[in-house]
Chain A
Amino acid sequence: MIKMEKINKTYGTGTARVEALREIDLEIKENEFVGLIGPSGSGKSTLMNIIGCLDTPTSGQYYFEGERVQEFGHNQLAEIRNRKIGFVFQNFNLLPYATTFENVELPMIFKGASARARRTKVMELLEKVNLAARAHHRPSELSGGEMQRVAIARALTNDPRLILADEPTGNLDTKSGEEILKIFEELWGQGHTLVIITHNPYIADCARRVVKLRDGLVEKDSVRNQ
């Protein structure tokens, strides 16, 4: 599904220069469940942003479904983010002034789906994450776990194959975290590819493959046999 060759990412120049990623080689296949772990500052989020086409590497090759991402322009990257990747953020990143329904609907609007198609799909997803009753609430009226479920529903709106989650349970209590994890397990069971950054050992245990980063390098890449 994705393949990275000698990916480097540096920030700043001179003495302020930070090498966030160094010569990363990584391949992730269809329907893998990857846990991305490592101490803070190890480059997890940077790697995730590059995988999610939110950021571009300083050097190296990144292939998404066999195509070189560096060759894509603004619009093509937007299309990949829109249709092929679902992103779940630690801090949810919901639009504060929009309702649950409107937040989940956004990716379909950018895709140009009809109002009827949007309505059907959004309600189906909200049922799935058990939030149908909250369709017309604003984020400020929701709990943390509910907001993260809205974000997950939003990530699934255009049926992307790849789901990326950056510490999805980082801001949640244990119970909400477990609910979220259950949803991820289900998604994996339905054939989605998952990459999840986490400090949560429980999630790391669920992942079938754990990639550990340290100082911008892959320290350990272990596949668990089931």
Chain B
Amino acid sequence: MVHLVRLFYRELRRQRKRMTLTIVALAWGTFSIVILLAFGEGLNRQMRKAFHGLGQGICIVGGGQTSKPYKGLGKGRSIFLKLEDIDLLQERVAGIEFLSPENDRTINTLTYGRKSITKRVIGVAPAFEELRTYYPERQSRFLNETDVEGKRRVIFLGAKLKEALFAKGEAVGKTILVNAVPFLVVGIMQDKMQNSMYNGPDVEKAAIPYTTYLAIFGDKYLSRLIYKPMDLTRSEMVKDDVVRVLAQKYKFDPEDKQAVDFWDTIEQEKITNKIFLGIKIFMGIIGGLTLIVAGVGVANIMYVSARKRTKEIGIKMALGAKKRYILAQFISEALMISFVGGAAGILFSVAAVEGVNAMALKGDVADILAHPAISLDIMVATALILSLIGFLAGFFPARRAASLNPVEALRYE
């Protein structure tokens, strides 16, 4: 057995050109499919992440204007939400997981040392962190219940805003001025992608407790309130309940679509999910077609080389090689080629993907496109399928040649 292996190895070395070609075809096929799908999956994930920059499965409710007369009240009445509505909804609507008021105003001067900028400051509850993905960077935190109860002057800064004020320097623990009122920085938001927003991207906003906000600015109404249902499949029911409770309080027709402004990202997510599914199917088809092209390439090389070696098989049979010896040689060769080719393809694609990720490209397009995500399943499946195709394409002509009379095989040029 050992000398058989040695003999195979020797022959493999001798036929370097043929081997190299087959291995390159296999590796290239694996590489192109894995890379294609890795970039596709990366694109998919980044788009999803960007979409979820606003929050996942949330409803944003703001005041509106009635469009229908109701119980003797005319249409065109403005509806404004109030802070007390938060407690009301919490009490009367079942199935809300997170709920937060939001107040905001544009013109706020934020000052640190000698640097001063004008940005948007919002007043919110701790639930805002989960609702709107205001996740803090390490060693910092979002606003908490103590901050709210104590009307503390603490502030949570968006990533870009922090950069503008502090550049690369440490911000947490420092005091900044908001319209000349000192605030303690407690947290910095993790940089995030966001392709869906109102009043500008979150990374350029600063958040303070809503109690502090109301104490300073004295707003009478809420800009909006945001909630997330516990069970996304029951979101319609929760939404109906929210409208009903508000309609009762503010005396408008629950069927009046314009009385309150309802931004339902859950509905939007369902549509987006369909788009993502579409992209997935598209990638699958492209991947499948590429796999066929690569498979044909590998099969062609294997087939031709097996045919070309009919004479060699004839010589070996004339010298007394048994059929199973010939087949064992072809099988072990094909397996070796497949293994090396598949492994090389996998290795190169992992290297390429890691390389692109390591570059950590920044920018609008790069954020979406330059984060390929490799899938082990796809990688292994691709390598296996291509190897199998190559193997079969090489095996059958070899078996045919080994079944011929030695004379017929020898005649083949």
- Identify the A interface with B (CB < 8 A): 49, 52, 54-56, 74-75, 78-83, 87, 89, 93-95, 97-98, 102, 106-107, 109-111, 115, 154, 158
Q: Do A82 and B405 have beta carbons less than 8 Å apart?
A: no
The minimal Cβ–Cβ distance linking B225 to chain A, given in whole angstroms, is 80
Q: Do A110 and B312 have beta carbons less than 8 Å apart?
A: no
Q: Do B312 and A78 have beta carbons less than 8 Å apart?
A: no
The residue in chain B whose Cβ has the minimal distance to the Cβ of A83 is: B320
- Interchain CA distance A82-B321 in the complex, whole Å: 7
Q: Which residues of B contact A78 (CB under 8 A)?
A: 317, 320-323
Besides A54-B406, A81-B406, A97-B15, 18 more A-B contacts (Cβ < 8 Å) are A54-B318, A54-B410, A55-B407, A79-B322, A80-B320, A94-B315, A95-B312, A97-B11, A98-B10, A98-B11, A102-B10, A106-B321, A107-B320, A109-B4, A110-B322, A110-B325, A115-B3, A154-B319
Q: Do B14 and A97 have beta carbons less than 8 Å apart?
A: yes
- Interchain CA distance A75-B326 in the complex, whole Å: 12
Please judge, given known A-B contacts A56-B405, A109-B7, A115-B3, whether A75 and B322 are in contact too, CB under 8 Å.
yes
Q: Which residues of B contact A154 (CB under 8 A)?
A: 319
The minimal Cβ–Cβ distance linking B6 to chain A, given in whole angstroms, is 8
Q: Do B3 and A55 have beta carbons less than 8 Å apart?
A: no
Please classify the interface of chain A as helix (H, G, I), strand (E, B), loop, or mixed, using the class held by over half of its residues: helix
A-B contact pairs, 5 of them (CB 8 A): A52-B318, A75-B322, A82-B319, A93-B315, A115-B3
The minimal Cβ–Cβ distance linking A188 to chain B, given in whole angstroms, is 22
B316 at the interface (CB under 8 A from A): yes
Interface residues in B55-105 (C-beta closer than 8 Å to A) = none
Residue-wise, chain B 298-337 has the 8 Å CB interface mask toward A (1 for contact) of 0000000000000010111111111111000000000000
The minimal Cβ–Cβ distance linking A112 to chain B, given in whole angstroms, is 8
Q: Which residues of A contact B324 (CB under 8 A)?
A: 75
Q: Do B318 and A87 have beta carbons less than 8 Å apart?
A: yes
Q: Do B321 and A110 have beta carbons less than 8 Å apart?
A: yes
The residue in chain A whose Cβ has the minimal distance to the Cβ of B320 is: A82
Q: Which residues of B contact A94 (CB under 8 A)?
A: 315
Residue-wise, chain B 374-387 has the 8 Å CB interface mask toward A (1 for contact) of 00000000000000
Residue-wise, chain B 1-21 has the 8 Å CB interface mask toward A (1 for contact) of 001100100110011000000
The 4 nearest A-B residue pairs measured at CB: A82-B320, A97-B14, A54-B406, A55-B407
Q: Which residues of B contact A109 (CB under 8 A)?
A: 3-4, 7
Q: Do A74 and B14 have beta carbons less than 8 Å apart?
A: no
Q: Which residues of A contact B318 (CB under 8 A)?
A: 52, 54, 81, 87, 93
Partner of A74, one of B10, B319, B322, B410: B322
- Interchain CA distance A75-B320 in the complex, whole Å: 9
- Identify the B interface with A (CB < 8 A): 3-4, 7, 10-11, 14-15, 312, 314-325, 405-407, 410
Interface centre among A75, A78, A87, A115 (most CB of B within 10 A): A78
The minimal Cβ–Cβ distance linking B402 to chain A, given in whole angstroms, is 9
- Interchain CA distance A102-B264 in the complex, whole Å: 78
The residue in chain A whose Cβ has the minimal distance to the Cβ of B408 is: A55
- Interchain CA distance A97-B17 in the complex, whole Å: 12
- Interchain CA distance A97-B312 in the complex, whole Å: 10
The minimal Cβ–Cβ distance linking A98 to chain B, given in whole angstroms, is 7
- Interchain CA distance A48-B325 in the complex, whole Å: 25
Please judge, given known A-B contacts A55-B407, A81-B406, whether A111 and B14 are in contact too, CB under 8 Å.
no
- Interchain CA distance A109-B10 in the complex, whole Å: 13
Q: Do B322 and A49 have beta carbons less than 8 Å apart?
A: no
Q: Which residues of B contact A87 (CB under 8 A)?
A: 318-319
- Interchain CA distance A154-B314 in the complex, whole Å: 15
Q: Which residues of A contact B321 (CB under 8 A)?
A: 78, 82, 106, 110
Q: Which residues of B contact A110 (CB under 8 A)?
A: 316, 319-322, 325
Q: Which residues of B contact A55 (CB under 8 A)?
A: 405-407
The residue in chain B whose Cβ has the minimal distance to the Cβ of A114 is: B3
- Interchain CA distance A122-B190 in the complex, whole Å: 75
Please judge, given known A-B contacts A87-B318, A93-B410, whether A75 and B10 are in contact too, CB under 8 Å.
no
Q: Do A75 and B323 have beta carbons less than 8 Å apart?
A: yes
The residue in chain B whose Cβ has the minimal distance to the Cβ of A94 is: B315
- Interchain CA distance A87-B317 in the complex, whole Å: 12
The minimal Cβ–Cβ distance linking A45 to chain B, given in whole angstroms, is 9
Q: Which residues of B contact A95 (CB under 8 A)?
A: 312, 315
Q: Do B405 and A54 have beta carbons less than 8 Å apart?
A: yes
The residue in chain B whose Cβ has the minimal distance to the Cβ of A106 is: B319
The minimal Cβ–Cβ distance linking B148 to chain A, given in whole angstroms, is 82
The residue in chain B whose Cβ has the minimal distance to the Cβ of A53 is: B406
- Interchain CA distance A183-B406 in the complex, whole Å: 26
Interface centre among A54, A82, A102, A107 (most CB of B within 10 A): A54
- Interchain CA distance A74-B402 in the complex, whole Å: 10
Please judge, given known A-B contacts A54-B406, A95-B312, A97-B11, whether A107 and B323 are in contact too, CB under 8 Å.
no
The residue in chain A whose Cβ has the minimal distance to the Cβ of B14 is: A97
- Interchain CA distance A154-B14 in the complex, whole Å: 20
The residue in chain A whose Cβ has the minimal distance to the Cβ of B321 is: A110
The residue in chain A whose Cβ has the minimal distance to the Cβ of B317 is: A78
Q: Which residues of A contact B407 (CB under 8 A)?
A: 49, 54-55
Q: Which residues of A contact B322 (CB under 8 A)?
A: 74-75, 78-79, 110
- Interchain CA distance A120-B321 in the complex, whole Å: 21
